[in-house]
Structure 1
Amino acid sequence: MTMTSAAPSVFDAGLPAFKYSFTATPHDIFDDVRAAQSQAPIAIGPLGPEILSYELAREMLRDNRFRLPPGITLAAQGVTSGPLFDKMATSLLGLGGAPHMRLRKLVSKAFTPRATARLHDTIHAVVNELVDQVIDDGRCDVVTAIARPYPTPIMCALLGAPRQDWQLFADWTEEVFKAFNFQADVTFDESEIMRAWGELDAYVDDMVAARRGRLTDDLLSKLIRAESDGERLNADELRMLVAGFLMAGTDTTRNQLAASVQVLCDHPGPWATLRERPELAMQAVEESMRHSPAACIVPRAAAGDVEFAGYTFPAGTFVLVNTFVANRDPAIYDDADRFDITRDDVPPILTFGGGAHYCLGANLARRELAEALIVLTRRLMAPRRAGPAPWKSVLGMTGPTTLPIEFSGESAPAGA
């Protein structure tokens, strides 16, 4: 294809380059990516251009000329067609343009800070119950004992699913999320994912039918009520949104909670500070997501030949917005690699994305993480790592696969 722009192709501009394997963790790639960042705000990585500076990352996330490729997580695993691919491509993440904006307008009317604030008591009950199960042992694996089981009950309570069905949602989410994993080495049974997704859809249909006769204050009722320009959500859209909320709200939170606990355990000063000053919990969440995020990479593709930051990105160019290193840009953050939960007056982190696909559940995620950290720092004294905490690949939802810790006891009773 002939380039009409005078800007050089991003591939022919002599930009710094670096390599890493598809199984590399954020910690594995950091030194090489930081070195490239010190040379240029864009570099060529193993999958294509990577945006490394904070300013350009924020700009690209807001640029509608770069889009989230539909079904990209399945394509990375060799699946480019079929019923599962179609279902993914028509999800809220897969949609673009006017259809996407219509759904976001409708959903935003239901997904408000007030809607998540009412979950305070449920959140505290869930995390305290998990701590109760390990407090007498003086040790636990944070990933399996606390982080992994924590989000599903919260999402179920938000949607209005009864407690006796929480395990069903956990099982469905575990199976369906295999399709959302952006890693080429993950294997799955497509028929099993479609079976689980079909059971989830049927359950949601039953919930919707029950709500239409008696609306409540849960999220599903708010979605049914939501109206924009005379339009409402139809049954297919309600099913799709519930599945999307479960996927996005479960795996992200469980991985980020484990990552946040790890960085706090590795920095005992901030853990003690947060125990004494729980009002810093939201700042601790922001700082742990900046310093040790579970979501490090945002994929984009050029919708056409696009001139950006002085370079031409040919149509279809696959781009990774490396929010991990952008969130540690020394040009933006003072002593960027320092973990400091007292930082204030700093630019917003890029971990929740930006532009049209900015995370709808950002308020809920922040609240879930902050409230969990308040309980954990109050009840567990002087936690310390009791073994290695290896992380998953940076190309997907990352975070520790295991986080064994020991602690000396309870600093306050559960009800304090």
Structure 2
Amino acid sequence: MCKPSVFDAGLPTLDYSVTDTPQQIYPQFRAAQEVAPIALGPIGPEVLSYEMARAVLRDPRFGIPQGIHLSAHGITSGPLWDRVTRSILNMEGEEHRRLRSLVARAFTPRATARMHDAIHNVVNELLDGIHDAGRCEFVADVARPYPIPIICALFGAPREDWQQFSCWAEDIFKIVSFDCDLVQEEPVVLKAWDEFDDYIDAMIAARRRHLTDDLLSDLIRIEDGGDRLDAAELRMLAFSILIAGTDTTRSQLAASMQVLCDHPDQWALLREQPELAMRTVEETMRHSPSMCSTVRSATADVEIGEYSFPAGTFIIVNTYAANRDQSVYDDPTRFDVTREDPPPILTFGGGVHYCLGANLARLELSEALKILSRRLPNPRVAGPVPWKPLLGLSGPTSLPLEFER
């Protein structure tokens, strides 16, 4: 017997604007979860349950739609389209599996642990600039400038080039922004991207002459049965790391800081027990994630659970709702950094597209929160904290804080 299509199964509906924040929409998600594991949202079916979200993320019949951010701007071909859709972030199939198997060797916990000193130096330098004031705008003063120096250190770029990296990143990030006219900005994006590629090409050439202790050197060293990454692949991976590892870290650090300020008892626990830092990262990314969803498209007719998804169906895997599934997480709206052995969060995705940089992201966030808890006594939110919309990359756009000097 055929299972009903998600469009004909009488599923609950979600009525929200694409400009609404996660906090505004969450009551609808929770009510819908009581009825079914899927709801019909303004964009398409949204998978809300933990188990079904994990199943979709692991099922190769659900692929990443090509160039989704560009399509939203009306760009479906041309040089920018070609370059974006050829990155590992948009790949599927054998080419994607090959690259992941090679690159994964450079992103082990042991490999990312060497970033420890760089992370501490960057965070402490940022805090030195605000510590005596007793107040700051956390997004502008700490979260926003934090990731670029770390990515530069990851590549082995010298400190004097950090500002140039930041400028390139600002222009390249227009690819994933909804706040600009990307058709108009395309020449600016391509110019910055060309300059970034030229810089990385020069670094690759230098590393081939003399390998050092950085990510680019690791990627050059990697070999599997005679297979190596070529210069174009190394260049593409550098771009992908820049795109995937900058705004995500910025937004999540700000979101984590806000929820900890809202729960001073949990902040005190972290301050007193810094060994809770990694658990704190998991809980803040479960309870208050900046990345709330990911998109998939059914490449064939697919049946999962009690429902069928027709080929071509555009699906939102709502990891924000799934990470608060009360059938999986006890008292899911409670923020508790001491949760014992919680199920793995889905914020980093799953299956063949699980975030390669998850180990580094966890280290960046946990070490930053550990230092913040030590150096900013009794932080409090000192004004409104507007968030970006749920769809795309969310998180605070501003986080005014006051703290004891």
Query: What TM-score do the two structures reach when normalised by structure 2?
Result: 0.98
Aligned partner of 2:381 among 371, 385, 388: 385
2-structure distance, mates of 1:48, 1:296: 16
Aligned pair 1:396/2:387, yes or no? Answer: no
Richer in helix (by share) = 2
- Find the partner of 2:73 among 69, 73, 77: 77
Aligned to 2:168: 172
- Could you say what secondary structure the match of 1:136 adopts? helix
1:414 matched residue in structure 2: none
Q: Output the amino acid matched with 1:159.
A: F
Q: Can you give the 5+ residue segments of structure 1 that lack an aligned partner in the other structure?
A: 410-416
2:13 aligned with 1:9, yes or no? no
Matched, 1:344 2:340: yes
The alignment status of 1:187 with 2:181, answered yes or no, reads yes
Instruction: Count matched residues.
Output: 403
- Cross-structure match for 1:102: 98
Partner of residue 121 from structure 2, selected from 122, 125, 133: 125
SS in 2 for 1:233: coil
Q: 1:143 Cα shift?
A: 0.2
State whether residues 77 and 186 of structure 1, in contact with CA within 8 Å, keep that contact through their aligned partners in structure 2.
Answer: no
Does 2:17 correspond to 1:21? yes
User: Are the aligned partners of 1:70 and 1:93 in contact in 2 as well (CA < 8 Å)?
Assistant: no
Q: Does 1:356 align with 2:356?
A: no
Shift of 1:186: 3.9
Alignment of 1:292-307 (within 5 A): 292-307=288-303
Equivalent-residue separation in structure 2 for 1:324 and 1:293 (angstroms) = 7
Where do residues 276-355 of structure 1 align in structure 2 (5 Å cutoff)?
Answer: 276-355=272-351
Does residue 54 of the first structure (1) align with residue 53 of the second (2)?
Answer: no
Q: If the length of structure 1 is used for normalisation, what is the TM-score?
A: 0.95
Q: CA RMSD in A?
A: 1.0
Shift of 1:6: 1.4
Deviation of 1:187 (Å):
2.4
Of residues 195, 198, 205, the one that matches 2:194 is 198
Moved more, 186-195 or 198-207: 186-195
One-letter code of the match for 2:139?
V
Query: How far apart, in 1, do the equivalents of 2:163 and 2:290 lie?
Result: 24
**What is the CA distance between 1:393 and its match in structure 2?**
1.0
Residue 296 (structure 1) shift: 0.3
Task: Return the alpha-carbon distance in structure 2 between the equivalents of residues 228 and 316 of structure 1.
Answer: 35
Residue identity (%):
62
The reply to whether residue 211 of structure 1 matches residue 207 of structure 2 is yes
Partner Cα separation in structure 2 for residue 321 and residue 126 of structure 1: 34
Distance 2:82 2:390 in 1: 26
Structure 1 stretches of 4+ with a deviation exceeding 3 A read none
Matched residues in 2 for 1:186 and 1:275: separation?
Answer: 40
Correspondence 1:63 to 2:59: yes
- Displacement, 1:123? 0.6
Name the aligned partner's letter for residue 268 of structure 2: A
1:141/1:403 contact within 8 Å kept? yes
Q: Partners in 2 of 1:191 and 1:229 — Cα distance?
A: 40
- Contact kept? 1:291, 1:327, Cα under 8 Å: yes
Please give the secondary structure, in 1, of the residue aligned with 2:36. coil
Matched, 1:252 2:248: yes
